[in-house]
Structure 1
Amino acid sequence: MPQFRSALLYTALALVANIGWADPYAIVDLRKDDMRKLAVHETPLELPNSTYTGEDGTPRTFADEGSAVLLVNFWATWCAPCRKEMPSLAALQSAFAPEDFRVITIATGRNPLPAMEQFFEEIEVDSLPLHTDPRQSLAREMGVLGLPVSVLIDRDGKEVARLMGDADWDSESARSIITALVEGAP
């Protein structure tokens, strides 16, 4: 009898624990093709309070973006995979209303504004912001070790997923994931 109670208690605890680990936005099953690289966190992560520099030169935080779902993309002008990925980020941004979803591009490290503008001009992207993290403090605090890195942030301001490396963000899978985050609530 004690073994039966232990087994029953263990099973009940396992079921309750697994409920806490469920993907609250049901985005895991939406990952196809390049989006298979998207690592969805078991529990949304708190974001650091570090700032980045806005296009206008003022310090910004993710909280300044309001309650929109954010896709934060860390990149640099010297990054070849970033050059390949950026047009798909711009296309993804154009598929959603800015009050619901925004792509926040943050050039990390030494990226002079003229070089950033030339980068965007060469790849014909004119709809994404030119934010910077010149000392890489935000990137370090968020554990960005290589480029590009894209971080999905839900409406509550928590990191729900991360993709390391470049990806086709203008795919059906990516749009489905963003739609689930925009429409869903944990």
Structure 2
Amino acid sequence: MPCSSRSLIALLLMGVALGACDRQSAPKEQENAATSGEVTSGEVAPSVDAGGKKYVIDRSKAGSGMPDFVFTDAKGTDVTLEDFTGKPILINLWATWCGPCVAEMPQLDRIAGDYAEDELQVLTISQDSMGADKVLPFFDANDFQHIKPWLDPENQFGFHYGGGVLPASVLYTADGKEVARISGALDWESDEAKALLEETING
């Protein structure tokens, strides 16, 4: 008998968790983390990139709008995604305690530099519950030239996008419409990733 949609989705997400960080990976002080979200099995594409990293591309929410959560910059200034509308956006949810997240950061920094800001904005939004106390020293210790520290210590984005794993990324067109969500670590310099970015920019 074939697997149910619910069972299939569970198996896919379990596979992704092997190449990413789940809620159990967080340190004890990290009480909030991304939780599971609804996906449509027919629109979920499990993949393994050339480096063996597992990830899932989910288009079940394509066309939906952006959430209006308040998050902050390094100085504590409140912003929302609406402040970035008019240009396509790549949101990346990450944490300092998540190894695959940290490994993605240099690629995301290069992407932010390769695509001019009028083409693509890369927002690396930390899900560290200790906020700036953890994130700013991490940025100080790394030579990132283009990405900036954005803080969401309440994990609003993680709860909203769901999936239960980090890193998680979401792409939005310039008019604020979702293109796709990625759960797990993606090779952002792969042909598949570049196609997603071009789709977002041209959307």
State whether TM-score is above 0.5: yes
Measure, in 2, the Cα distance between the counterparts of 1:84 and 1:60. 26
- Partner AA of 2:182 in structure 1: L
Deviations 1:88-108 (A, max 9, x none): 111111111101101101111
Q: CA deviation at 1:172?
A: 3.0
- Partner AA of 1:157 in structure 2: G
Identical counterparts, % of pairs: 30
- Partner AA of 2:154 in structure 1: R
Deviations 1:35-84 (A, max 9, x none): 97322236412222211112331211111012111110111111111111
Residue 83 of structure 1 contacts residue 123 of structure 1 at CA under 8 Å; is this kept in 2? no
Residue 127 of structure 2 contacts residue 151 of structure 2 at CA under 8 Å; is this kept in 1? yes
State which drifts further: 86-95 or 47-56.
Answer: 47-56
Q: Does 1:76 align with 2:113?
A: no
Measure, in 2, the Cα distance between the counterparts of 1:157 and 1:35. 27
Q: Secondary structure at the match of 1:64?
A: helix
- What are the residue-to-residue correspondences of 1:42-121 with 2, within 5 Å? 43-121=62-140
Structure with larger Rg: 1
Which of 148, 152, 169 is equivalent to 1:133?
152
Q: Label 1:108 to 1:38 Cα distance change in 2 as closer, same or farther (>3 A).
A: same
Q: Label 1:36 to 1:80 Cα distance change in 2 as closer, same or farther (>3 A).
A: closer
Unaligned runs of 5+ in 1: 1-22
Measure, in 2, the Cα distance between the counterparts of 1:93 and 1:160. 18
Q: Label 1:45 to 1:134 Cα distance change in 2 as closer, same or farther (>3 A).
A: same
Q: Label 1:171 to 1:124 Cα distance change in 2 as closer, same or farther (>3 A).
A: farther
What count of residue pairs does the alignment treat as equivalent?
156
RMSD over aligned Cα, in angstroms? 2.6
4+ residue runs of structure 1 moved beyond 4 angstroms?
A: none
Q: Label 1:130 to 1:151 Cα distance change in 2 as closer, same or farther (>3 A).
A: same
Unaligned runs of 5+ in 2: 1-42
- What are the residue-to-residue correspondences of 1:148-159 with 2, within 5 Å? 148-159=167-178
Residue 92 of structure 1 contacts residue 175 of structure 1 at CA under 8 Å; is this kept in 2? no
- Partner AA of 1:141 in structure 2: H
TM-score, normalized by length of structure 1? Answer: 0.72
